[in-house]
Homo-oligomer: A and B are copies of this chain.
Protein backbone atom coordinates (compact mmCIF):
# COMPACT_ATOMS: atom_id res chain seq x y z
CA UNK A 1 0.00 0.00 0.00
CA UNK A 2 1.71 3.16 -1.17
CA UNK A 3 -0.20 6.31 -0.46
CA UNK A 4 0.55 9.32 -2.63
CA UNK A 5 0.13 12.68 -0.92
CA UNK A 6 -0.59 15.64 -3.17
CA UNK A 7 2.28 18.12 -3.47
CA UNK A 8 1.75 21.07 -1.11
CA UNK A 9 0.66 24.12 -3.08
CA UNK A 10 3.47 26.68 -3.15
CA UNK A 11 0.94 29.48 -3.51
CA UNK A 12 -0.68 28.50 -0.23
CA UNK A 13 2.59 28.05 1.65
CA UNK A 14 3.69 31.50 0.47
CA UNK A 15 0.63 33.02 2.19
CA UNK A 16 1.33 31.25 5.50
CA UNK A 17 2.05 34.39 7.54
CA UNK A 18 -1.05 36.18 6.33
CA UNK A 19 -3.21 33.12 7.01
CA UNK A 20 -1.81 32.80 10.54
CA UNK A 21 -2.48 36.49 11.17
CA UNK A 22 -6.02 36.02 9.88
CA UNK A 23 -6.59 33.03 12.16
CA UNK A 24 -5.15 34.88 15.17
CA UNK A 25 -7.60 37.70 14.55
CA UNK A 26 -10.43 35.14 14.74
CA UNK A 27 -9.22 33.00 17.65
CA UNK A 28 -7.25 35.07 20.11
CA UNK A 29 -4.64 33.79 22.57
CA UNK A 30 -3.31 30.25 22.41
CA UNK A 31 -5.94 28.99 19.98
CA UNK A 32 -3.57 29.19 17.00
CA UNK A 33 -0.62 26.79 17.04
CA UNK A 34 2.34 27.68 14.83
CA UNK A 35 5.48 26.22 16.48
CA UNK A 36 6.77 23.17 14.62
CA UNK A 37 7.11 20.93 17.67
CA UNK A 38 3.54 21.72 18.71
CA UNK A 39 2.18 21.20 15.22
CA UNK A 40 3.80 17.75 15.22
CA UNK A 41 1.16 16.61 17.71
CA UNK A 42 -1.31 16.86 14.84
CA UNK A 43 0.77 15.13 12.14
CA UNK A 44 -0.98 11.75 12.16
CA UNK A 45 -3.84 9.73 13.62
CA UNK A 46 -4.15 6.11 14.70
CA UNK A 47 -2.98 4.99 11.23
CA UNK A 48 0.47 6.02 12.32
CA UNK A 49 2.42 4.81 9.31
CA UNK A 50 1.81 8.12 7.51
CA UNK A 51 2.47 11.60 8.82
CA UNK A 52 2.46 15.15 7.50
CA UNK A 53 2.97 18.25 9.65
CA UNK A 54 0.18 20.77 8.97
CA UNK A 55 0.90 24.39 8.08
CA UNK A 56 -0.95 25.67 11.15
CA UNK A 57 -3.45 24.40 13.74
CA UNK A 58 -6.42 26.39 15.00
CA UNK A 59 -8.60 25.45 17.96
CA UNK A 60 -11.83 27.47 17.84
CA UNK A 61 -14.30 27.63 20.72
CA UNK A 62 -17.50 28.73 18.98
CA UNK A 63 -19.46 27.99 15.83
CA UNK A 64 -18.99 31.61 14.80
CA UNK A 65 -15.21 31.22 14.97
CA UNK A 66 -15.44 28.05 12.86
CA UNK A 67 -17.47 30.04 10.34
CA UNK A 68 -14.89 32.82 10.19
CA UNK A 69 -12.02 30.32 9.84
CA UNK A 70 -13.72 28.54 6.96
CA UNK A 71 -14.54 31.83 5.21
CA UNK A 72 -10.86 32.76 5.44
CA UNK A 73 -9.68 29.39 4.11
CA UNK A 74 -12.26 29.41 1.33
CA UNK A 75 -11.23 32.90 0.24
CA UNK A 76 -7.52 32.01 0.29
CA UNK A 77 -7.95 28.53 -1.21
CA UNK A 78 -6.42 26.78 1.82
CA UNK A 79 -7.19 23.10 2.53
CA UNK A 80 -8.87 22.47 5.91
CA UNK A 81 -8.61 19.21 7.82
CA UNK A 82 -11.13 19.08 10.66
CA UNK A 83 -9.95 16.94 13.55
CA UNK A 84 -11.64 15.44 16.60
CA UNK A 85 -9.35 13.39 18.83
CA UNK A 86 -7.26 11.95 16.00
CA UNK A 87 -8.28 8.35 16.71
CA UNK A 88 -9.11 7.58 13.07
CA UNK A 89 -7.82 4.17 12.00
CA UNK A 90 -7.83 4.85 8.25
CA UNK A 91 -5.94 8.11 8.04
CA UNK A 92 -9.05 10.25 7.90
CA UNK A 93 -7.47 12.90 10.12
CA UNK A 94 -3.95 12.94 8.65
CA UNK A 95 -3.29 16.50 7.51
CA UNK A 96 -1.24 17.79 4.60
CA UNK A 97 1.57 20.32 4.65
CA UNK A 98 -0.45 23.16 3.12
CA UNK A 99 -3.48 22.60 5.36
CA UNK A 100 -5.04 24.30 8.32
CA UNK A 101 -5.95 21.70 10.95
CA UNK A 102 -9.22 22.81 12.55
CA UNK A 103 -9.25 21.03 15.91
CA UNK A 104 -12.68 20.82 17.48
CA UNK A 105 -11.61 19.46 20.88
CA UNK A 106 -12.14 22.68 22.86
CA UNK A 107 -15.80 22.71 21.88
CA UNK A 108 -16.86 20.03 24.34
CA UNK A 109 -19.82 21.39 26.26
CA UNK A 110 -23.24 19.89 26.82
CA UNK A 111 -25.80 22.44 25.61
CA UNK A 112 -29.11 20.81 26.48
CA UNK A 113 -30.36 17.56 27.98
CA UNK A 114 -33.98 16.52 27.59
CA UNK A 115 -34.83 13.26 29.34
CA UNK A 116 -38.51 13.32 28.35
CA UNK A 117 -37.65 13.48 24.65
CA UNK A 118 -34.53 11.36 25.16
CA UNK A 119 -32.33 13.86 23.34
CA UNK A 120 -29.16 15.74 24.14
CA UNK A 121 -27.54 18.61 22.27
CA UNK A 122 -23.77 18.82 22.60
CA UNK A 123 -20.86 20.65 21.05
CA UNK A 124 -19.15 18.29 18.67
CA UNK A 125 -15.78 18.11 20.44
CA UNK A 126 -17.20 16.25 23.44
CA UNK A 127 -15.94 12.68 23.78
CA UNK A 128 -18.23 9.77 23.12
CA UNK A 129 -17.97 8.46 26.69
CA UNK A 130 -18.56 11.89 28.22
CA UNK A 131 -22.00 11.98 26.60
CA UNK A 132 -23.03 8.79 28.38
CA UNK A 133 -21.30 10.00 31.54
CA UNK A 134 -23.41 13.13 31.56
CA UNK A 135 -26.72 11.22 31.70
CA UNK A 136 -25.73 8.02 33.52
CA UNK A 137 -27.07 9.31 36.86
CA UNK A 138 -30.56 9.30 35.35
CA UNK A 139 -30.11 5.82 33.91
CA UNK A 140 -29.55 6.91 30.30
CA UNK A 141 -26.70 6.37 27.80
CA UNK A 142 -25.61 7.12 24.24
CA UNK A 143 -25.53 3.83 22.36
CA UNK A 144 -22.71 3.68 19.77
CA UNK A 145 -19.57 2.62 21.66
CA UNK A 146 -16.40 2.55 19.55
CA UNK A 147 -13.49 0.94 21.40
CA UNK A 148 -11.82 4.37 21.45
CA UNK A 149 -14.83 5.92 23.18
CA UNK A 150 -12.78 7.30 26.05
CA UNK A 151 -10.94 9.58 23.61
CA UNK A 152 -12.86 9.89 20.36
CA UNK A 153 -15.20 12.84 19.80
CA UNK A 154 -18.77 12.80 18.60
CA UNK A 155 -17.56 14.95 15.68
CA UNK A 156 -15.27 12.11 14.64
CA UNK A 157 -18.04 9.57 15.20
CA UNK A 158 -20.29 11.58 12.88
CA UNK A 159 -17.53 11.91 10.28
CA UNK A 160 -16.89 8.16 10.21
CA UNK A 161 -20.37 6.85 11.09
CA UNK A 162 -18.72 4.95 13.92
CA UNK A 163 -20.07 1.72 15.31
CA UNK A 164 -19.00 -0.35 18.29
CA UNK A 165 -19.71 -3.62 20.02
CA UNK A 166 -23.26 -2.70 21.01
CA UNK A 167 -24.37 -1.46 17.60
CA UNK A 168 -25.89 -4.81 16.71
CA UNK A 169 -28.98 -3.86 18.67
CA UNK A 170 -28.77 -0.07 18.74
CA UNK A 171 -27.39 0.75 15.30
CA UNK A 172 -24.42 2.90 14.33
CA UNK A 173 -23.94 6.65 14.65
CA UNK A 174 -26.31 7.39 11.75
CA UNK A 175 -29.14 5.69 13.66
CA UNK A 176 -28.53 7.69 16.83
CA UNK A 177 -28.13 11.24 15.50
CA UNK A 178 -31.18 13.49 15.18
CA UNK A 179 -29.74 16.87 14.27
CA UNK A 180 -26.54 18.65 13.29
CA UNK A 181 -25.32 22.20 13.19
CA UNK A 182 -22.58 22.48 10.64
CA UNK A 183 -20.56 25.11 8.85
CA UNK A 184 -20.03 24.98 5.10
CA UNK A 185 -16.72 25.85 3.47
CA UNK A 186 -18.30 29.19 2.65
CA UNK A 187 -18.82 29.83 6.35
CA UNK A 188 -22.58 29.41 6.25
CA UNK A 189 -24.06 27.99 9.45
CA UNK A 190 -26.63 25.34 8.61
CA UNK A 191 -28.98 23.41 10.90
CA UNK A 192 -30.23 20.07 9.69
CA UNK A 193 -32.60 17.64 11.33
CA UNK A 194 -33.82 18.26 14.84
CA UNK A 195 -35.20 16.35 17.76
CA UNK A 196 -37.84 14.39 15.81
CA UNK A 197 -38.01 11.15 13.89
CA UNK A 198 -37.71 12.44 10.34
CA UNK A 199 -36.92 15.63 8.52
CA UNK A 200 -38.55 16.94 5.37
CA UNK A 201 -36.60 17.45 2.18
CA UNK A 202 -33.43 15.56 1.48
CA UNK A 203 -31.85 13.58 4.29
CA UNK A 204 -28.76 15.72 4.75
CA UNK A 205 -28.03 14.07 8.08
CA UNK A 206 -27.73 10.76 6.31
CA UNK A 207 -25.42 12.39 3.81
CA UNK A 208 -23.27 14.19 6.37
CA UNK A 209 -22.86 11.21 8.70
CA UNK A 210 -19.97 9.23 7.28
CA UNK A 211 -18.80 11.95 4.90
CA UNK A 212 -15.41 12.07 6.64
CA UNK A 213 -15.23 15.84 7.13
CA UNK A 214 -15.49 16.52 3.43
CA UNK A 215 -18.86 18.27 3.22
CA UNK A 216 -18.83 20.62 6.20
CA UNK A 217 -17.53 21.04 9.75
CA UNK A 218 -20.00 19.82 12.36
CA UNK A 219 -20.06 21.99 15.50
CA UNK A 220 -23.17 20.77 17.33
CA UNK A 221 -24.88 17.41 17.45
CA UNK A 222 -28.30 16.41 18.76
CA UNK A 223 -28.06 12.78 19.82
CA UNK A 224 -30.67 10.27 20.87
CA UNK A 225 -30.08 8.99 24.39
CA UNK A 226 -31.53 5.68 25.51
CA UNK A 227 -32.54 4.29 28.86
CA UNK A 228 -30.16 1.70 30.22
CA UNK A 229 -31.61 -1.79 30.30
CA UNK A 230 -32.66 -3.27 33.61
CA UNK A 231 -29.78 -5.69 33.42
CA UNK A 232 -27.14 -6.88 30.96
CA UNK A 233 -25.10 -10.05 30.89
CA UNK A 234 -22.31 -11.13 28.56
CA UNK A 235 -21.93 -14.87 28.01
CA UNK A 236 -18.83 -16.53 26.53
CA UNK A 237 -19.27 -19.36 24.03
CA UNK A 238 -16.13 -21.34 23.09
CA UNK A 239 -15.89 -23.59 20.01
CA UNK A 240 -13.37 -26.11 18.70
CA UNK A 241 -13.80 -24.94 15.10
CA UNK A 242 -14.19 -21.45 13.71
CA UNK A 243 -16.90 -22.72 11.35
CA UNK A 244 -19.03 -23.70 14.35
CA UNK A 245 -18.82 -20.17 15.73
CA UNK A 246 -19.55 -18.64 12.33
CA UNK A 247 -22.59 -20.85 11.81
CA UNK A 248 -23.84 -20.07 15.31
CA UNK A 249 -23.74 -16.34 14.54
CA UNK A 250 -25.43 -16.84 11.17
CA UNK A 251 -28.18 -18.94 12.78
CA UNK A 252 -28.79 -16.50 15.66
CA UNK A 253 -29.16 -13.62 13.22
CA UNK A 254 -31.10 -15.77 10.78
CA UNK A 255 -33.53 -16.67 13.57
CA UNK A 256 -34.24 -12.99 14.11
CA UNK A 257 -32.66 -12.91 17.58
CA UNK A 258 -30.96 -9.57 18.22
CA UNK A 259 -28.74 -9.62 21.32
CA UNK A 260 -27.02 -6.34 22.22
CA UNK A 261 -23.67 -7.63 20.97
CA UNK A 262 -22.11 -10.66 19.31
CA UNK A 263 -18.34 -10.28 19.32
CA UNK A 264 -15.98 -12.85 17.82
CA UNK A 265 -12.40 -13.65 18.80
CA UNK A 266 -10.18 -16.40 17.46
CA UNK A 267 -7.53 -18.39 19.40
CA UNK A 268 -4.83 -15.83 18.66
CA UNK A 269 -6.96 -12.88 19.80
CA UNK A 270 -8.23 -14.73 22.88
CA UNK A 271 -4.68 -15.45 24.04
CA UNK A 272 -3.53 -11.88 23.47
CA UNK A 273 -6.51 -10.25 25.19
CA UNK A 274 -6.65 -12.71 28.09
CA UNK A 275 -2.97 -12.04 28.85
CA UNK A 276 -3.78 -8.34 28.97
CA UNK A 277 -7.18 -8.23 30.71
CA UNK A 278 -7.44 -11.49 32.74
CA UNK A 279 -11.07 -11.70 31.71
CA UNK A 280 -11.48 -15.44 32.18
CA UNK A 281 -11.64 -16.21 28.45
CA UNK A 282 -11.34 -19.94 27.64
CA UNK A 283 -7.85 -20.60 26.20
CA UNK A 284 -8.47 -24.09 24.82
CA UNK A 285 -10.85 -23.14 22.02
CA UNK A 286 -10.35 -22.05 18.43
CA UNK A 287 -13.06 -19.39 18.49
CA UNK A 288 -15.05 -17.55 21.10
CA UNK A 289 -18.22 -15.49 20.93
CA UNK A 290 -19.09 -12.85 23.52
CA UNK A 291 -22.86 -12.57 23.33
CA UNK A 292 -24.50 -9.96 25.52
CA UNK A 293 -28.20 -9.99 26.30
CA UNK A 294 -30.07 -7.37 28.27
CA UNK A 295 -33.46 -6.59 29.75
CA UNK A 296 -35.30 -7.88 32.78
CA UNK A 297 -34.15 -11.17 34.30
CA UNK A 298 -37.03 -12.95 32.51
CA UNK A 299 -36.21 -11.37 29.16
CA UNK A 300 -32.53 -12.26 29.45
CA UNK A 301 -33.35 -15.84 30.42
CA UNK A 302 -35.73 -16.25 27.50
CA UNK A 303 -33.29 -14.92 24.94
CA UNK A 304 -30.32 -16.81 26.37
CA UNK A 305 -32.23 -20.07 26.25
CA UNK A 306 -32.75 -19.69 22.50
CA UNK A 307 -29.12 -18.70 21.93
CA UNK A 308 -27.79 -21.64 23.96
CA UNK A 309 -29.97 -24.00 21.96
CA UNK A 310 -28.49 -22.73 18.68
CA UNK A 311 -24.92 -22.85 20.02
CA UNK A 312 -25.45 -26.45 21.22
CA UNK A 313 -26.62 -27.41 17.75
CA UNK A 314 -23.18 -26.30 16.58
CA UNK A 315 -21.24 -28.29 19.20
CA UNK A 316 -20.38 -25.42 21.53
CA UNK A 317 -17.62 -26.61 23.93
CA UNK A 318 -17.69 -23.96 26.68
CA UNK A 319 -20.53 -21.73 27.90
CA UNK A 320 -19.65 -19.28 30.65
CA UNK A 321 -21.98 -16.58 31.98
CA UNK A 322 -20.72 -13.48 33.72
CA UNK A 323 -21.63 -13.79 37.39
CA UNK A 324 -20.87 -10.24 38.53
CA UNK A 325 -20.36 -6.66 37.44
CA UNK A 326 -16.62 -7.15 37.90
CA UNK A 327 -16.55 -10.14 35.55
CA UNK A 328 -18.65 -8.20 33.03
CA UNK A 329 -16.24 -5.28 33.13
CA UNK A 330 -13.26 -7.61 32.62
CA UNK A 331 -14.92 -9.37 29.69
CA UNK A 332 -15.51 -6.05 27.93
CA UNK A 333 -12.12 -4.63 28.89
CA UNK A 334 -10.51 -7.59 27.13
CA UNK A 335 -12.53 -7.08 23.99
CA UNK A 336 -12.20 -3.30 23.85
CA UNK A 337 -8.42 -3.42 24.44
CA UNK A 338 -7.92 -5.92 21.64
CA UNK A 339 -6.14 -3.52 19.29
CA UNK A 340 -3.90 -2.15 22.03
CA UNK A 341 -3.20 -5.61 23.45
CA UNK A 342 -2.26 -6.93 20.01
CA UNK A 343 0.06 -3.96 19.62
CA UNK A 344 1.98 -5.20 22.69
CA UNK A 345 2.95 -8.45 20.97
CA UNK A 346 3.24 -7.54 17.28
CA UNK A 347 2.87 -4.83 14.71
CA UNK A 348 -0.36 -5.23 12.80
CA UNK A 349 -2.63 -3.66 10.29
CA UNK A 350 -6.25 -3.57 11.28
CA UNK A 351 -8.69 -4.31 8.51
CA UNK A 352 -12.31 -3.16 8.60
CA UNK A 353 -14.55 -4.93 6.11
CA UNK A 354 -18.20 -5.88 6.29
CA UNK A 355 -19.93 -8.93 4.90
CA UNK A 356 -23.44 -10.33 4.88
CA UNK A 357 -23.64 -12.39 8.09
CA UNK A 358 -24.69 -15.51 6.22
CA UNK A 359 -21.24 -15.63 4.57
CA UNK A 360 -19.34 -15.52 7.86
CA UNK A 361 -18.15 -19.16 7.96
CA UNK A 362 -16.68 -19.11 4.46
CA UNK A 363 -15.11 -15.65 4.87
CA UNK A 364 -13.40 -16.71 8.11
CA UNK A 365 -11.96 -19.70 6.26
CA UNK A 366 -10.94 -17.42 3.40
CA UNK A 367 -9.11 -14.98 5.70
CA UNK A 368 -7.21 -17.88 7.23
CA UNK A 369 -6.22 -19.14 3.77
CA UNK A 370 -5.13 -15.66 2.58
CA UNK A 371 -3.00 -14.87 5.62
CA UNK A 372 -1.34 -18.31 5.74
CA UNK A 373 -0.62 -17.97 2.01
CA UNK A 374 1.60 -14.99 2.86
CA UNK A 375 3.20 -16.88 5.75
CA UNK A 376 1.69 -14.46 8.29
CA UNK A 377 -0.49 -14.66 11.40
CA UNK A 378 -3.85 -13.03 11.96
CA UNK A 379 -5.86 -12.24 15.07
CA UNK A 380 -9.54 -12.01 14.32
CA UNK A 381 -11.56 -9.91 16.72
CA UNK A 382 -14.69 -8.28 15.48
CA UNK A 383 -18.37 -7.39 15.58
CA UNK A 384 -19.70 -10.68 14.21
CA UNK A 385 -23.38 -9.98 14.70
CA UNK A 386 -23.50 -7.25 12.11
CA UNK A 387 -20.83 -8.73 9.85
CA UNK A 388 -18.20 -6.07 10.60
CA UNK A 389 -14.79 -7.81 10.52
CA UNK A 390 -11.55 -6.55 12.05
CA UNK A 391 -8.83 -9.03 11.14
CA UNK A 392 -5.52 -7.83 12.62
CA UNK A 393 -2.79 -8.98 10.21
CA UNK A 394 0.44 -9.17 12.23
CA UNK A 395 3.92 -8.54 10.88
CA UNK A 396 7.34 -7.29 11.91
CA UNK A 397 7.66 -3.61 11.12
CA UNK A 398 11.45 -3.96 10.90
CA UNK A 399 11.08 -6.36 7.97
CA UNK A 400 9.98 -4.26 4.98
CA UNK A 401 9.23 -7.34 2.88
CA UNK A 402 6.91 -8.67 5.59
CA UNK A 403 5.14 -5.32 5.82
CA UNK A 404 4.45 -5.42 2.09
CA UNK A 405 3.12 -8.97 2.46
CA UNK A 406 0.82 -7.85 5.29
CA UNK A 407 -0.52 -4.99 3.20
CA UNK A 408 -1.19 -7.33 0.28
CA UNK A 409 -2.93 -9.77 2.61
CA UNK A 410 -5.07 -6.93 3.94
CA UNK A 411 -6.09 -5.88 0.44
CA UNK A 412 -6.92 -9.47 -0.48
CA UNK A 413 -9.14 -9.72 2.59
CA UNK A 414 -11.04 -6.55 1.65
CA UNK A 415 -11.44 -7.81 -1.92
CA UNK A 416 -12.90 -11.01 -0.50
CA UNK A 417 -15.37 -8.92 1.51
CA UNK A 418 -16.48 -7.05 -1.60
CA UNK A 419 -16.69 -10.32 -3.59
CA UNK A 420 -19.17 -11.93 -1.21
CA UNK A 421 -21.39 -8.87 -1.40
CA UNK A 422 -19.91 -6.90 1.47
CA UNK A 423 -17.86 -3.75 1.46
CA UNK A 424 -14.46 -2.40 2.24
CA UNK A 425 -15.20 -0.47 5.37
CA UNK A 426 -17.54 -0.99 8.30
CA UNK A 427 -16.86 1.80 10.71
CA UNK A 428 -13.30 3.10 10.31
CA UNK A 429 -13.95 4.94 7.08
CA UNK A 430 -12.02 5.19 3.84
CA UNK A 431 -9.62 7.99 4.81
CA UNK A 432 -6.43 7.79 2.83
CA UNK A 433 -5.85 4.11 3.54
CA UNK A 434 -8.62 2.75 1.34
CA UNK A 435 -8.94 5.61 -1.11
CA UNK A 436 -7.65 3.59 -4.03
CA UNK A 437 -9.63 0.51 -3.04
CA UNK A 438 -12.85 2.45 -3.72
CA UNK A 439 -12.43 1.31 -7.34
CA UNK A 440 -12.85 -2.30 -6.17
CA UNK A 441 -16.38 -1.40 -5.22
CA UNK A 442 -17.43 1.46 -7.47
CA UNK A 443 -17.38 2.15 -11.21
CA UNK A 444 -16.38 5.57 -12.50
CA UNK A 445 -20.08 6.34 -12.98
CA UNK A 446 -20.77 5.42 -9.36
CA UNK A 447 -17.85 7.54 -8.15
CA UNK A 448 -18.95 10.48 -10.24
CA UNK A 449 -22.29 10.55 -8.40
CA UNK A 450 -20.38 10.95 -5.15
CA UNK A 451 -17.87 13.52 -6.38
CA UNK A 452 -20.75 15.60 -7.76
CA UNK A 453 -22.04 15.94 -4.21
CA UNK A 454 -18.59 16.92 -2.99
CA UNK A 455 -18.24 19.53 -5.76
CA UNK A 456 -21.71 20.92 -5.08
CA UNK A 457 -20.98 21.59 -1.40
CA UNK A 458 -17.25 22.29 -1.62
CA UNK A 459 -16.47 23.48 -5.15
CA UNK A 460 -12.74 23.97 -4.53
CA UNK A 461 -12.38 20.61 -2.72
CA UNK A 462 -10.82 22.30 0.31
CA UNK A 463 -12.43 20.23 3.09
CA UNK A 464 -10.27 17.20 3.96
CA UNK A 465 -9.12 16.82 0.36
CA UNK A 466 -7.25 13.82 -1.01
CA UNK A 467 -9.28 11.47 1.19
CA UNK A 468 -12.10 9.02 0.42
CA UNK A 469 -11.75 9.17 -3.40
CA UNK A 470 -8.88 7.99 -5.61
CA UNK A 471 -6.93 11.11 -6.59
CA UNK A 472 -7.91 10.58 -10.22
CA UNK A 473 -11.60 9.91 -9.52
CA UNK A 474 -13.90 11.41 -12.15
CA UNK A 475 -15.17 14.88 -11.32
CA UNK A 476 -17.11 17.49 -13.15
CA UNK A 477 -15.81 21.02 -13.21
CA UNK A 478 -17.69 23.00 -10.60
CA UNK A 479 -19.58 26.10 -11.54
CA UNK A 480 -17.11 28.94 -11.39
CA UNK A 481 -19.78 31.61 -11.21
CA UNK A 482 -22.26 30.73 -8.47
CA UNK A 483 -25.26 33.00 -8.76
CA UNK A 484 -28.58 33.14 -6.95
CA UNK A 485 -31.43 32.41 -9.29
CA UNK A 486 -35.11 31.78 -8.77
CA UNK A 487 -36.68 28.66 -10.25
Interface residues of A (CB under 8 A from B): 6, 114-119, 161, 163, 171-172, 174-175, 184, 188-192, 194-207, 209-211, 215, 226-229, 250, 253-256, 295-296, 298-299, 301-303, 306, 354-359, 386-388, 417, 421-427, 429-430, 434, 438, 441-443, 445-450, 452-457, 461, 465-466, 468-469, 471-487
Beta-carbon nearest neighbor of A452 in chain B: B456
20 A–B contacts, CB within 8 A, in A order = A116-B359, A117-B356, A117-B421, A118-B356, A118-B358, A161-B203, A188-B445, A190-B446, A191-B446, A192-B446, A194-B441, A197-B386, A200-B430, A203-B207, A204-B449, A228-B256, A229-B256, A299-B299, A455-B456, A479-B479
Indicate if the CB atoms of A421 and B201 lie closer than 8 Å. Answer: no
| Bound Cα distance from A201 to B206, whole angstroms | 12
Which of these, B163, B196, B481, B482, contacts A355 with CB under 8 Å?
B196
List, in ascending order, chain B residues with CB within 8 A of A427's CB: 198
| Bound Cα distance from A192 to B423, whole angstroms | 11
| Bound Cα distance from A238 to B373, whole angstroms | 66
| Bound Cα distance from A470 to B442, whole angstroms | 35
Indicate if the CB atoms of A483 and B477 lie closer than 8 Å. Answer: yes
List, in ascending order, chain B residues with CB within 8 A of A194's CB: 421-423, 441
List, in ascending order, chain B residues with CB within 8 A of A198's CB: 161, 163, 172, 210, 354, 388, 423, 425-427
| Bound Cα distance from A432 to B356, whole angstroms | 39
Copies in the complex: 2
List, in ascending order, chain B residues with CB within 8 A of A475's CB: 484-487
Which of these, B116, B192, B426, contacts A254 with CB under 8 Å?
B116
Smallest beta-carbon distance A341→chain B, Å: 25
